[in-house]
Amino acid sequence: MLSKRIIACLDVRSGHVVKGVNFEGLRSAGDPSELARRYNREGIDELVILDITATIEARRALAQTIHAVARELFIPLAVGGGIHTEADAAAAVEAGADKVSVNTAALTNPTLITSLARRYGSQAVIVAIDAKKSGDIFAVYARSGKTSADRDAVEWAREAEARGAGEILLTSIDRDGTKSGFDCAMTAAVSSALSIPVIASGGAGTLDHFVDVFTTGRADAALAASIFHYAETSVRHLKEHLHARGIPVRL
């Protein structure tokens, strides 16, 4: 069985790591380079940088931040936010990204997924999906959760896979920053429909929340921010907890 991955996320605005609740009320959480150095030392499996205002401000992800973080890492680095074109993706890769994550741009222009997969390989292309429960479906939102995309998360994830995505980064807007647990129902629904890995995001607050999303939620990886940024637990402690419960992780 493949090891489950633990991924730390750095939501970056103006070069600083920030964190909020339900995509709102952002507050400072530290310097991206310092946090990257700490996570690399503690044994995180991957790191994601999301430039959360790049799309809204109609600009590329900040290359200086990507480069500064990449220098601290010996693990895969994914970058998202402001990647609208192949040229934007190339700039992120040139700055040090191993993977690129597309969200709003993929919804607007789904052929971008295929173009990036052909250029870099599917393993380097993540499609990020921000969604929340709406009646009988999980509704997809664009532009940092501000605009309804009129898409169902399961259906959109299937299309993204068919177009060449190598992974889905699935964030629950309802659970984001709440520390109330991952949305295991949404994660399981998407994971069950795909053959590519699904990264669960939004809601991590306790060690058992990770157990739940890897079992009930059927996630291949779990991403968190607050629980790590504010030193509420260590990566090592989390991995030992998962290992003790029979969940394969890299120790």
Tell me the pLDDT tens digit for each residue of 121-150: 999 999 999 999 999 999 999 877 778 889
Instruction: Please pick, among 45, 51, 130, 176, the residue that the annotation labels catalytic.
Output: 130
Q: Supply the pTM of this predicted model.
A: 0.91
**What 3-state class would DSSP assign to 190?**
helix
**130 included as an active-site residue:** yes
For residues 57-74, average pLDDT? 78
State the CATH architecture for 5-244: Alpha-Beta Barrel (3.20)
Catalytic residue from among 11, 45, 88, 220 = 11
Token pair recorded at residue 207: 């060690």
Q: What are the pLDDT digits (tens) for 80-90?
A: 988 999 999 99
Residue pLDDT, tens place only, 176-233: 888 999 999 999 999 999 999 999 999 999 999 999 999 999 999 999 887 776 566 7
C-alpha to C-alpha distance for 243 and 251, rounded to whole angstroms: 8
Q: How far is CA 199 from CA 47, 125, 127, in A?
A: 12, 13, 10
pLDDT tops 80 at residue 27: no
All residues at 6 or more sequence positions from 245 whose CB lies less than 8 Å from its CB, including other chains: 211
Is the CB of residue 134 less than 8 Å from the CB of residue 174? no
Per the annotation, the verdict on 212 as an active-site residue is no
pLDDT tens, position by position, 29-52: 568 888 888 888 889 999 998 886
